Structure 1
Amino acid sequence: MEDLPPTNPTPNVADKIEENSQNVKEKPKQTLQKTNQEAREKLELTLPKERGFLGPALFFYQGFWCPSRILHNVVTFQQHFEGRDTDVILATKPKSGTTWLKSLVYSILNRTRFTEMDHPLLTKNPHELAPFLEFNVYSEKNEGLPDLSNISPPRLFSTHLPYGPLPESIQGSKCRIVYMGRNPYDTFVSAWKFVTGHNPELHLEVTIEDFLGHFLRGAEAFGPHWEHVLGYWKESLGRPNKVLFIKYEDMKENGTREMKRLAEFVGCGFSQEEDRDGVIDRILKLCSLSNLKELEVNKTGKYMPSVKNKLFFRKGEVGDWVNHLNPSMVERIDQMMKEKFEGSGLEFKRNSSKLMMLELKDVGHVLTNEMLVICLW
């Protein structure tokens, strides 16, 4: 695999975008926003519509449910983003380890630039360091199009979009996409906790069973879940040099191995000396949920005016779904997962090995390796 140029990215891509935008002469902000709003409203009239649990409605656009407030951003991103062969794009379905993945990849790419004392993660939320293309970079609140031309490679961006709607400049270039997938049980619970944390009154209007119904039929932001995951999975099989598919559960179980895969894929593998010196372990510790959630920026800061940073940090455990889902709900997810994933070769562990062994010890069971694999599934 051809390596990327020497890692010398801008410490904060979002800051660079803001700096560049100040030098671009465009229409007055008020006029531009009015034009964008009119274009969005015209498009919305042609699209199927669903309720959005975080406030704005969802519109079915190019195979996925897009929040209305970013629909124009998505279209602008598709039309104007110019991908580079050296770009690194982080893709996830919401609540599948996005924040963790951003902190890990950013730290891998910048590991020679910062120490543990001056690392940007100490003062900035990971979403600031790997900005969303559809939320931040191409926000209709910006004055004109962002100037991304003078950001040093490799540029690091992120997206929640499925693979299909990504612009041709990403799909057709040699830029690399890292996708993190997570078992649907924990993904669903994490999504439920996020929306009810953002909107506490939702508990009074919608039960977790109702929310599961929307999840299973795909009527959620960036859903359907199953097609989102499978899209990137199939691309990773067909173009392994283009798309790396990693699993949340594997990263939790063997972080060192998965970190090496990540680093090799983005073109800056760890040297033997770095391995011996514990560089990987230090990055894993820095980016651990327990560390990030205790930083002041993540306890009190806000990613957006209406979204507190602390909402991005909950438990980060594999198998926490057992504390929230009843047998009927688990069975419904089981059936949908079998229907959608069967024949694809894609599987997820729904419990951690540690949790499963504790459960087996409690009930006094002695299992063969084959039986243990079945239980872990």
Structure 2
Amino acid sequence: MGSAVRVGEVRKAPGTWRRMRLWGTAHAVDDLYQGLVPAVVPYFVLERGYGYVAAGGLTLAAALGSSVPQPLIGIAVDRRGLGWLAAAGLALAGTGFGLSGLAGPYALVWMLVLLSGVGVAMFHPAAGKAAREAAGDSAAAMGVFAAGGSVGFFLAPVLATPLLVTWGVRATVCFLPPALLTAYVLHRHRRRTLASGRVAARRTGADQWGPFLLLTAVAMVRSVVFFGVSTFLGLHWLRDLGGSRTLAGVALACFLGGGVTGTLLGGRIADRLGLVRTVQVGTALAVPALVGLVLVPGQYPPLLFAALTGAVLNVPFAVLIKLGQDYLPARPGTASGVTLGLALSVGGLSAPLLGLLAEGHGPRGVLAVLCAVPLAALALASLLREPGGAAG
């Protein structure tokens, strides 16, 4: 593998940054629909009378749809191309979520959220492969793509809270147009690319399955923390801290907004300190940030720790994507399907179990348990090595 492309070198290629902005924006719109699920869950609880287990079930539906199919989709992308899946997945993600608030029976709501997750699954492998082709070996450039996902999660409560406060869960239909418009833009971009005859060079090298599987385990543990906090943070402000619905939305926005900053910082840190070391540092810092989130009293001071928790949890985000593709250089779609899809979404599968914990101990009890989870990820991350055996 060639030497890493530094940030300054990438800045000299405006075409690269234009393409990264396109894929970063598309990633933001796609992950908006993942972020909207935890944002809307408290309103289903309050308006429909769903219990904590049912609330966790909606997160489970989104996670099942977005995680389980992605490795298979990634394999298909590596073998057959299927670049059109990015646009098609965006359209499906927006349609499923947009209609969920209009549905009546819980089973139908659950199925629509599941379909939205499947759309997310269709987007990530094709988009992750295309973004890596545009970014080259720069972790900072891949950080733009990864940060798009964090921006989408951040914008979810910011955009959803005033609409949900005003119109309730029926406001989900307002989020249908962004997906359809962005899908059309991606479709046009793909047609122009095919017409121009540009073909990206195929990455080669020996696949390192052992380190890749270890990395996947790290990402899965991180995902449990991320989805656990995303799902129960708003309920923690409502039920444990006595905050308003608006303040609960602000808390979630702080958490996800911190994630945007952490993602961008993570890519730049990795270009200087190394990929593996960045994963280890971000994972270690998650523990004190979570402890502060649980223990600091009041409705407003914990907002700082919500932002800090989001930041440190997302420092490894872009790095995990790039590192996975470096471990599997000949299979970028498969690597993206696992690191962006299965590993980063599987945390939602734990939501029903966390819901059971919340039934007995409240949302604060869930957050308290999550304080210890990053220690498992840190233990796994300590065994990682830089691709090619370079020192971290």
What TM-score bracket applies, with the shorter chain setting the length?
Answer: under 0.3
Which protein shows a greater Rg?
1
The TM-score normalised by the length of structure 1 is: 0.25
The TM-score normalised by the length of structure 2 is: 0.25
Structure with more relative contact order (C-alpha pairs < 8 Å, separation 6 or more) = 2
Higher helix proportion (structure 1 or 2): 2
